[in-house]
Every structure is written in C-alpha cells, then in structure tokens.
A and B are shown apart, each in its own frame.
Chain A
Amino acid sequence: MSGPEARAESRLGARIGAGAGTALALGLLLLAVAVAFGVGRFPVGLGEVAQVLLAKLTGRPAAVPPAVEAVVMQIRGPRILAAILIGAALSVAGAAFQGLFRNPLVSPDILGASSGAAFGAVLGIWLSLGVLAIEALAFAGGLAAVAAVYLVGATLARRDPVLVLVLAGVVIGSLLGAGVGLVKYLADPYNQLPAMTFWLLGSLSATHALDLAALALPVVLGTAVLLLLRWRLDALSLPEEEARALGLATGPLRLAIVAAATLVTAASVAAAGIVGWVGLVVPHLARFLVGPGFARLIPTAALLGAGYLLVIDTLARTIAPVEVPLGILTAVVGTPVFLWLLAGAERDWQ
C-alpha cells in the first residue's frame, strides 16, 4: 500500500496546499505577461505598459514614445490579451468536458467544435471571404457541429447518453475532417492552400484590437457559466444515474456546460485557428497543483491555461525569424508534458 499511497500524497497541491497552487498559477500568469511584453523586436517594460494604460484611463498624454504606445495598444497588448483569453477558455472547457465525460483524456473538441470550426474556416478561405467572415463561418461551423452531435446523441441515447454523445462526436468530427480534406483538395494551391494550412495550424499573429471584442464576449460569457457551475461539476462527473439520484437535473446542466464550453472553444478557434493540446494538458497540470475538485480546478485551469498559452505564443513569435505556428508548438511542448504526467498519472485518476 505504501507505494501508491506515497505517490498519491506526492501531488504538489497536497504538499503546498490547494490555495497555494492557485496562487502559483496566478503568479506564473503575471510573470508570463511581464515576459511577453518584455521580449520581441520592440521590448516594452511593465512600467511603460502601466504608464500607457494610466494615460488611457485618465485621458492625459502618456510620457512614453508613441511607438511604445502603439506596441502596447495595437500590437502586443491585444495579442497578449487574446492569448490569455484563448488559453483560459480552452483550459476551462477542457476541464469541464473531462468532468462531464468522466474521462481525463477528453479535450474541448471532443464534440466536434474544432473540426466544425475548421470546416467553416477553410470554406470561408475557399470562397475568398474577408477575415471577419471567415471567423464568423468558423464560429458558426463549430457551434453547428456540436449542435448536430448533441441532436444525434439526444435522438439515439437510451442507456448511456455520455457514450453515445462521444461516439456521435467522433463520427461527425471525421465527416467534417473529410469535408476539410475535400475543400483543401479543391483549393487554389498557390494562394488558398497555404492560407488554409496556416489557419489550421493556429496563430495569433493576425490578432488586432478589432477582433478582440468578438473573441472576448463569447469567451467571458462561456467561462463565467463554467466558473459558476463548477460546484456542481464534482457530482456531474459521477455516472449518470448516481448524479441524478443526488438530485441534479443532469440534462439541463449537461446542456448548459456543453453549450458554454462549445461557445468558448468555437470563439477561440475562430480567432486563432486550431490550437490543440492546451485543453487536454492544462487541466492535468492544474489537477497536479490543486487536486481533482472542480471548484478549485476550474479557476486554476483558467489561470494556468492563460499563462501557458501566453508563454507558447511568446515563444512562437521570438524563437525563429518567422512566426512558428501555435499548433506545432503546443504539440511539441504538450506531448512530453503529457507523457510525463501519464508516467505518474494514477495519482490523478484511475
């Protein structure tokens, strides 16, 4: 008994306290923000950032060069904010879905949000639409895919609604994957295909202040719903009939959580393309810090995911002369982290 038990107690949160785990995640995020402003072709200190923000708030001219103000307000600031929003959104959605589907290997695109959004986006690029229209199509595609999965699941589900939902997600996801393949096959290989490939690999390089509102609104809304419902998620991660016997209205609760997680995932994918691994890896790191209880896991995953994607994005724009696609970096960083977690994983799940 002492072997596995010793491992169970080795969880960081058990040693430093769950509250300290959340504080650590917050600290890492703040550090990541400072570094993200401070590196790049035009380094900006936190003091300068504060001056610019203060000047904006008070309406007085900032005591910094206009170039610094432009970097903070138009270039790096929006990009950092987008990374924070998307990292937090994908992580919270991943944690919620892992609970809902009682499986720690689930990621936010389990129900086809990403493949639906990908199909919408490549369709938009193929039809030579504008950037905003492409994002809108991606968003609509993600929502439509999950709605289709949910309807199929609700129609077929008798005894195990969760399993049917996951299987429906796999089926519809692969159908949409075929659709993406078809559109890529039909696309102009010199202009459209590179744009599609770039989009499918994920990037924040095109983030402007304008897109930020379209991203922030659904992300804040969906994340708020998941944060509010986090107290119910522990019991919702039980088998369906146990959760119902505890008095939970599992149908409406499940629908609300799926809707909120889909909203934030679709908004993230629409803004930045496919950024894999974040929603899978970050909840595990957060569980390592604070344990499996969702009340603490959800906010910690949000903080940790925000910092994680910000670090990844900072790497993406600084490690090479050209931007590295986000999806490649999250996979390269995510895979070893995930394997490391898996190696000692029974401490987190059975």
Chain B
Amino acid sequence: MTLLAATDLAFGYPGRVIGRGIDLAVAPGEVLALLGPNGGGKTTLLKTLLGLLPPRAGSVTVLGRPLAALPARERARALAYVPQSAGSAFAFTARAVVLMGRSAHAGLFSAPSRADRASAEAALARMGVLHLADRAVTRISGGERQLVLIARALAQEPRLVILDEPTASLDFGNQGKVMREITRLRDDGLGVIFTTHDPNQAARYADRALLLRAGGRLAEGPVAEVLAAERLEGLYGAPVEEVRDAGTGARAFLPG
C-alpha cells in the first residue's frame, strides 16, 4: 500500500516552475529524506505534497485518491505538517497548540470534545513533553517546541507526517532527540517525509532518500544505495569524504 505518491510532478508558483520530473512514493512505516542544497526546492516540494500549493504538472495521490480532490479536512486527517519551528504571535500553552491539531476533527463552531483533549494529552505524552503542557510555547526551548509541534501533528491522527527541516536551529543533543522521536513514528506505522541539510541524518534515520538539485531529481532510492560520496559531491558541488566503521558498517559523510 502507498500512503503518498507523486508521479512526474512539477512544482512551483504561478508562472514559475521550480522543479519537475519528481516521482516518489511513501509506504506506511517508511521514512523518506529529502536532501539538497539551499534553494533546491525542498520546501516548495513539501508544500506541494501537502496540497498547500497546486502541482504545476503531474499528480499527487493520497491513499490512492488525487490530493486535489480531497477536502481540506480530509487532507488534514491524512497528512500532517510540522513546519520549521517559528515563533508564535501569542503565548499559547503547549496544550493549546496541540489541541489546534484537532481542528480537522472538530465541527466549525464546536469546542474541543473530551476525546479531543484526551488525544492531545496522549500526543504530548507520546513525544515526552506532557510535563510542558501548561507552559507557554514561547517560553520553552527550540527542541521542546519542535516536539510540541510534532505532538500537534500526531493529534491530527494522520497517516503521514511531513516535517520541514525538523532539526534546523537545534543544538546537537536536541537534534538527536527530535530525530529519535521521528523514527519512533515509523515504528508506529506512520509514513514520514523530512527535509534536511545533513546527509548523515538521512543515512541514520531514513529508509529512502530523494536527492533534489535545482528542482530536479538527482537520485532516489534506499539510503544505502543513494547516499554515496561522489553523488553527494554532485549534489552540493563540494568535496565530500565518506568514512565507514569497519566493525559496524555505520557510515558518515564529512564535508571538505
């Protein structure tokens, strides 16, 4: 079964196509990493996959149905979006932020139900941030805020979670913490797509990788095949060295 599939997809804004020729598919329990240099169109592609931007050509299907034909509420129950952690205009509590994730399950005029509140609590607990529930999201650390945003995505009860640079602006320790939580989503059968600047993150936490350069697909496939030093050099236009631990087979890429 495929959760999300794109076929010969072109994406961009009206009058300005940023990328084309994208084919990808994500199955339940599968993590796809989008890798590429700045300005390569990663975020625009994510927004097109989320249905926030219409495809310029080709198609996106969600659970076999065309994304464009899905009403906003149904789309939000299939796909959840974790944006790059940005400051909130108002000092909502973490609990209130996660409750916003229930919007697609609530009636137009209705207050959050008992089930909505329980779902929000469960999502906070699942991300290990239940103790922050009553804290203002403007007053917690960037890593904690990212986990709250992932909890909000979980409260949507989606099939696939799409994260835009989930570890941007996080310190080293928090990067690992957030990425570990993301891989736990895979273990629960969710599909995951994330963008990253770091090939090591893709190698360590993703099943498949899509290398995106100037809007085009440089390579797509299992990370073990796709991620190689010479290909990354082509992707970033800079020298890359691969180091491998002879014992465990673990790989790492070093710039320069």
Contact = CB atoms under 8 A, between A and B. Distances in A.
A4 B99 CA distance: 25
Given A241-B52, A245-B79, A249-B72, A350 B100 contact: no
A8 B91 contact: yes
A232 B50 CA distance: 21
Interface of A: 4-5, 8, 99, 102-104, 158-159, 228-229, 231-232, 234-235, 237-239, 241-242, 244-249, 287, 291-293, 295, 346-350
Interface centre among A229, A346, A349 (most CB of B within 10 A): A349
B72 to A, nearest CB: 5
A247 B109 contact: no
A244 B103 CA distance: 10
A47 to B, nearest CB: 38
A167 to B, nearest CB: 18
B100 A246 contact: yes
Given A228-B109, A231-B112, A350-B138, A244 B72 contact: yes
Contacts of B103: 232, 235, 246-248
B139 A242 contact: no
A229 B47 CA distance: 27
A350 B91 contact: yes
18 contacts: A4-B139, A5-B139, A8-B136, A104-B90, A158-B13, A158-B14, A159-B13, A235-B103, A242-B81, A244-B72, A246-B76, A246-B104, A246-B156, A247-B73, A247-B75, A293-B96, A295-B111, A350-B88
Interface centre among A4, A104, A242, A295 (most CB of B within 10 A): A242
Interface centre among B96, B106, B112 (most CB of A within 10 A): B96
Given A5-B139, A8-B91, A349-B90, A231 B76 contact: no
B249 interface: no
A347 B73 CA distance: 33
Nearest to A295: B111
A292 B73 contact: no
Contacts of B13: 158-159
A231 B89 contact: no
B20 interface: no
A245 to B, nearest CB: 4
B256 interface: no
Given A158-B14, A241-B52, A234 B92 contact: yes
A229 B73 contact: no
A248 B72 contact: yes
Nearest to B111: A231
Interface string B68-108: 00001111110111010011111111001001110110101
A188 B99 CA distance: 58
A229 B91 contact: no
B248 interface: no
B89 A235 contact: no
B21 to A, nearest CB: 24
Interface centre among B90, B93, B108, B110 (most CB of A within 10 A): B90
Contact of A239 (B14, B86, B104, B156): B86
B59 to A, nearest CB: 20
Contacts of A4: 139
Contact of A347 (B91, B100, B104, B112): B91
A292 B86 CA distance: 17
Interface in B190-249: none
Contacts of A231: 106, 109-112
Contacts of A158: 13-14
A239 B83 contact: yes
B152 to A, nearest CB: 8
Task: Please provide the 3 A-B residue pairs with the shortest distance between their CB atoms, ordered closest to farther.
Answer: A247-B76, A247-B104, A245-B81
A158 B12 CA distance: 12
Contact of A102 (B89, B104, B109): B89
B52 A234 contact: no
A287 B108 CA distance: 23
Nearest to B155: A246
Interface string B20-39: 00000000000000000000
B91 A235 contact: no
A174 B241 CA distance: 60
Contacts of B91: 8, 291-292, 347-350
B72 A247 contact: yes
B96 A234 contact: yes
Contacts of B77: 247
Contacts of A242: 81, 83
Contacts of A348: 90-91
A220 to B, nearest CB: 17
Interface in B117-149: 135-136, 138-139
Contacts of A249: 72
Given A158-B13, A235-B100, A245 B76 contact: yes
